[in-house]
Amino acid sequence: MISVSRLLNGRQEGGDSVRFSPDSSYPKVLVFNVTRNCNLRCEHCYSSSGGHHFQDLSLDTWMRSIKEASDMGVKHILLSGGEPLARPDLPSIAKEAHDRGISVELSTNGTMLRNKLEPMRRYVSYVGISIDGPEPIHDDFRGVSGAYKKALEGIRFSRDLGVKTGIRFTITSRNYQYVPYIFDLVREEGLQRVCFYHLGYVGRASRGLDVKNEIRYKVIRQVVELSKGSEFEVLTADNPVDGILIYRLTKSDKVRELLLMNGGNKSGERIADVSPEGEIYPDQFTKVKIGDIGNLRATWDSPNEFLTKLKSRRNYIKCSSCPFFDMCNGGLRGRALALGDVWGKDPSCYLDQIVREERSV
């Protein structure tokens, strides 16, 4: 994850302790997809959730994994799904993590917040609500009329409860032109964060829904311009080339230093994902299994072949001779995997566009 606002404005942020921390034996961030049930059916859902009822893992299973995560030194747990608030015992999961000193973040479609957030407000440090653009665009993506209005109600409810609240926006070929709209919405609603996600090709999200790299470059340039002097956090996720773009634009030695400290994509190392079925993956979008929830710690104590290679990925990724590899670390392996070679070049790398634009100036 790239903190655009930190790189541009120099303001320290809460996630810096993870983004710029040295490598450790275990991940600092775990994504807990606690259910595959969802009241929406989003076109770009990475977990293919919703549509019918799924059987969730037991509460005891998640509680045991939280204790193990705490013993491993995990600092953040992101509760996701599906729609995590569709799970009635979510407050118990959040409380357990909070009481063990783990920061709890909630990733939600927002439509259930008004009815579900109150019992867990003390245990959640951040709520991120997905918005895809103006109301007609959002409702079309989400497959349910009225989803936007309920999400906006949820945003305001979370904000008014005093919980740190922000918007999550996934860049696609159908909504990339609404980046200014999202900035305006964050500002008008008095929110503290916005995160722009690059599409991962998994679940219902196909490569055909992604933007071309020429457009990607222009979109992130726009994000950068709109972030200058912002009073709220601006992040991008799942494409470390965004940081390289900021470095090339600013030519700042401090930006370069921070990007080298960040180290680019750290899937399987700094972050990992636990599916609703209890399978462990390097991240939400790279569906190569590295472990099981019943043996959380053992996933890293006795890593399988793929995780071992991830830890030394420079030896395997085919673009590792790139002069910016130390800032990028090869990007998202899930997108390369979707094209047939997990060690191939991330198709969302837009360095060529950055160099082309520099030469044209």
State the chain's mean pLDDT as an integer. Answer: 94
Contact 119, 91 (CB under 8 A): yes
Please determine, for residue 50, whether its predicted confidence score (pLDDT) is greater than 80.
Answer: no
Confidence of residue 361 (pLDDT cuts 50, 70, 90): low
Contact 71, 101 (CB under 8 A): no
Helix (H, G, I), strand (E, B) or coil at 317: coil
- The domain limits of the chain are 2-360
Q: What is the fold of 2-360?
A: TIM Barrel (3.20.20)
Identify the burial level of 272 via C-beta atoms within 10 angstroms of its C-beta, where 0-12 means exposed, 13-18 middle and 19 or more buried.
Answer: buried
> pLDDT tens digits, residue range 262-285?
999 999 999 999 999 999 999 999
Q: Percentage of the chain with pLDDT > 70?
A: 100
Q: What is the pLDDT of residue 302?
A: 97
More confident residue, 206 or 296: 296
- Residue 101: left if φ>0, alpha if ψ -120 to 50, beta else—which one? left
Q: Which residues of 289-304 are buried (b: 16+ CB within 10 A; e: fewer)?
A: ebbebeebeebbeebe
- Residue 110: left if φ>0, alpha if ψ -120 to 50, beta else—which one? left
Task: Report the predicted TM-score, pTM, of the whole model to 2 decimal places.
Answer: 0.95
Encoded tokens for 96: 């357990």
> pLDDT tens digits, residue range 15-32?
777 888 778 899 999 999
Nearest alpha-carbon partner for 183 in 244, 239, 238, 231: 231
- Which of 187-191, 287-291, 352-356 is predicted with the least confidence, judged by mean pLDDT? 352-356
More confident residue, 3 or 41: 3
Q: What is the dihedral of CA 170, 194, 245, 11, to 10 degrees?
A: -160
